[in-house]
Amino acid sequence: MNKKGEVFSGEDIIKSIALMHDRGNGLGGGFAAYGIYPELKDYYAFHLFYDDTKAREDTEHFLNRNFNVEIAEQIPTRKVPAIEKPPLVWRYFVKPKPEKILQSDVGANDFVVKCVMEINSSIRGAYVFSSGKNMGAFKGVGYPEDIGEFYRLEEYKGYIWMAHGRFPTNTPGWWGGAHPFTLLDWAVVHNGEISSYDANRRYLEMFGYECTLQTDTEVITYIFDFLLRKQGLPLDVAVTAVASPFWTQIDRLDPEKRELVKTIRCVYSSLLVNGPFSIIVGSSSGMMALNDRIKLRPLTAATKGDFLYVASEESAIREICPDPERVWSPKGGEPVIGWLETSEAKNAELENITFQMENRAFVF
Partner 1 sequence: MPNFLIERDRDRCIDCQVCVRQCANEVHKYDEEEGRVFSDEMECVGCHRCVVMCPTRALTIRRFPLDYRQNANWTPDYINAIYKQAETGGILLTGMGNDRPYPVYWDHMLINASQVTNPSIDPLREPMELKTFIGRKPERLKIENGKLAEKIPPQLELEVPVMFSAMSFGSISLNAIKSLARAAEQEGTFYNTGEGGLHKDLYRYGKNTIVQVASGRFGVHPDYLRAGAAIEIKIGQGAKPGIGGHLPGEKVGLQVSQTRMIPEGTDAISPAPHHDIYSIEDLRQLIYSLKEATNYEKPVFVKIAAVHNVAAIASGIARAGADAIVIDGYRGGTGAAPLRTRDNVGIPIEFALAAVDTRLRQEGIRNQVSLIIAGSIRNSADVVKAVALGADAVYIGTAALIALGCHVCQKCYTGKCNWGIATQDPKLVKRLNPEIGARRAANLLRAWKHEIKEMLGGMGINAIDSLRGNRLMLRGIGLTDRELKILGIKAAGE
Contact 52, 125 (CB under 8 A): yes
Contact 29, 165 (CB under 8 A): yes
Q: Minimal distance in Å, beta carbon 350 to partner 1?
A: 10
Amino acid letter for position 98: P
Q: Minimal distance in Å, beta carbon 188 to partner 1?
A: 18
Q: Minimal distance in Å, beta carbon 189 to partner 1?
A: 17
* Cα-trace Rg, the chain: 19
Q: Minimal distance in Å, beta carbon 219 to partner 1?
A: 11
Q: Which is nearer to partner 1, 105 or 206 (CB)?
A: 206
Q: Which of 253, 275, 270, 273 is nearest to 262 (CA)?
A: 253
Contacts 24+ apart (CB under 8 A), 257-264: 257/355, 257/357, 260/355, 261/355, 261/357, 264/237, 264/240
Cα–Cα distance measured from residue 146 to residue 319, given in angstroms and rounded to the nearest whole number: 18
Cα–Cα distance measured from residue 259 to residue 108, given in angstroms and rounded to the nearest whole number: 35
Sign of CA dihedral 290, 295, 299, 300: positive
Q: Minimal distance in Å, beta carbon 164 to partner 1?
A: 16
Q: Which is nearer to partner 1, 22 or 256 (CB)?
A: 256
Assign residue 360 a region (left: φ > 0; alpha: ψ between -120 and 50; beta: otherwise).
alpha
Q: Which is nearer to partner 1, 125 or 276 (CB)?
A: 276
Q: Which is nearer to partner 1, 293 or 318 (CB)?
A: 293
Cα–Cα distance measured from residue 173 to residue 25, given in angstroms and rounded to the nearest whole number: 10
Q: Which is nearer to partner 1, 36 or 273 (CB)?
A: 273
Q: Which is nearer to partner 1, 182 or 196 (CB)?
A: 196
Interaction site with partner 1 (CB under 8 A)? 169-170, 192-200, 202-203, 205-207, 231-234, 236-237, 244, 246-248, 256, 259-260, 263-270, 272-276, 293-294, 296, 351-356
Q: Minimal distance in Å, beta carbon 263 to partner 1?
A: 6
Q: Which is nearer to partner 1, 142 or 245 (CB)?
A: 245
Cα–Cα distance measured from residue 176 to residue 355, given in angstroms and rounded to the nearest whole number: 38
Q: Minimal distance in Å, beta carbon 198 to partner 1?
A: 4
Q: Which is nearer to partner 1, 6 or 205 (CB)?
A: 205
Cα–Cα distance measured from residue 155 to residue 302, given in angstroms and rounded to the nearest whole number: 26
Alpha carbon distances (Å) from 338 to 154, 171, 267, 283, 364: 24, 31, 27, 10, 5
Q: Minimal distance in Å, beta carbon 154 to partner 1?
A: 33
